[in-house]
Structure 1
Amino acid sequence: MDAIYSERLKLVPLTNRQLQLWAQSRTALEKELGLNANIIQMDTQIAAELQDALLNTWLPGTAAHPNHYFWVTNWEIILPEKNISVGGIGFAGLPDANGETMVGYGLDAKHHGRGYASEALACLLRWAFGHETLKAVIATTPPDNYPSHKVLTKNGFTNLGHLDPEYIYWRLERSNF
């Protein structure tokens, strides 16, 4: 799979080889994808979570599931107008026995407030719900991340409240998409 598209964005699922390049150098990944350089600015907690996901989820996940890597990788959110990556989005794994998976995303702070996260999530959900095995998508957010709450609400997620003190849990059922 090369990419999926929305009105303003291109989402590219990174292969294991591309993730290995990223682990060495973000610049090397951008070059591999033919992108213009962009220093992505993110909250330090989100940046740490991305680095952890790269090393402990995406690299081993794409190696273990080469034919289904798109469920266990980062999808680069590319702004074709400028030919730059403005963030990433992806799932935590293939749908489980209940047909559920978890989604997460992060966006370059320079590009907040333009609807890119909402558009990228809608695009990825359209692709994901095209697979009959997927029944629901879960997301978690810190209680004070109001922009992310808006992204999820706009995409039809239901706020399930605090299932633990640090996060609000969200759910989108196939029937509500």
Structure 2
Amino acid sequence: MINTHPINTCLIKTDRLRIRTAADAEMRILIEKEADDALKAAYGEMLELSLKNPDRRQWYAAWFIESPEGEHIGELCFKGLNKEGGTEIGYGILPEHQGCGYASEAVAAVTDWALTQDGVNYILAETEAGNTASQRVLQKSGFVSTGDTGDEGIIFVRRRRD
């Protein structure tokens, strides 16, 4: 089930999850609480781009992965939308929730949604060569390896099927 709410907030529901774009105030809290400097900078850039592009914020904002009761399970994000209709997805599940299939469920649901959006032709993801769990998440979500590597590792792609 997919709903688009006022102020360009998206909500995707699966059997076990609610996946939604974070509000600006929630993104500020995420930045404030983040201990890792690189992630803090990335979240700050995401917020800045969300504010500059309110009509396209779903491509810049953090998305929260939650239980139906609202328990925080993890986050994911898109890294903008390029002129060729491509975006990159990143995701992470809190350690205490790993191994339960939440990442696969969330990534599949959000990429299913994204590939139905106007102008979106493909989604990329990169994962370290040794991160077999992340590679399985991508494969279960319909991604295939391109055979190439990027700055962050092996590149996977999922394309729109017309």
Does the TM-score normalized on the shorter chain lie above 0.5? yes
Indicate the structure whose relative CO is greater, using CA pairs within 8 Å and at least 6 residues apart.
Answer: 1
**Residues matched between the structures, number:** 154
**Residue equivalent to 1:13:** 21
Can you list the C-alpha shifts for 1:41-79, whole angstroms capped at 9, x where unaligned? xxx9xx555323212x21111111112111101100001
Of all paired residues, the percent bearing the same amino acid is 29
* Distance (Å, rounded) in 2 between the aligned partners of 1:11 and 1:165: 27
Give 1:15 deviation, angstroms.
2.6
Q: RMSD in angstroms over aligned alpha carbons?
A: 2.1
Letter in 1 for 2:50: T
* Distance (Å, rounded) in 1 between the aligned partners of 2:32 and 2:103: 26
When normalised by structure 1's length, the TM-score is 0.79
Can you list the C-alpha shifts for 1:92-128, whole angstroms capped at 9, x where unaligned? 01x2111100000011011111100000011111221
Contact map agreement 2:126 2:152 (CA 8 A) in 1: no
Change (3 A) 1:143 1:119: same
Change (3 A) 1:49 1:121: farther
Which of 34, 37, 41 is matched with 1:52 structurally? 41
**Residue equivalent to 1:92:** 79
* Distance (Å, rounded) in 2 between the aligned partners of 1:143 and 1:48: 24
Letter in 2 for 1:104: G
Can you list the C-alpha shifts for 1:132-152, whole angstroms capped at 9, x where unaligned? 200000000010010000000
Which of 22, 28, 31 is matched with 2:30 structurally? 22
Stretches of structure 1 lacking an aligned partner (at least 5 in a row) = 27-43
More strand by share: 2
SS at match of 1:104: strand
Stretches of structure 2 lacking an aligned partner (at least 5 in a row) = 1-8
Give 1:163 deviation, angstroms.
2.7
SS at match of 2:16: coil
* Distance (Å, rounded) in 2 between the aligned partners of 1:165 and 1:67: 30
Which of 59, 64, 71 is matched with 2:52 structurally? 64
Change (3 A) 1:142 1:49: farther
Change (3 A) 1:49 1:11: farther
Verify: 1:127 aligned to 2:113, yes or no: yes
Contact map agreement 2:149 2:155 (CA 8 A) in 1: yes
SS at match of 1:110: helix
Change (3 A) 1:166 1:90: closer
Structural mapping, 1:28-177, within 5 Å: 49-55=38-44, 57-81=45-69, 83-93=70-80, 95-164=81-150, 167-175=153-161
* Distance (Å, rounded) in 2 between the aligned partners of 1:51 and 1:15: 16
Give 1:164 deviation, angstroms.
4.2
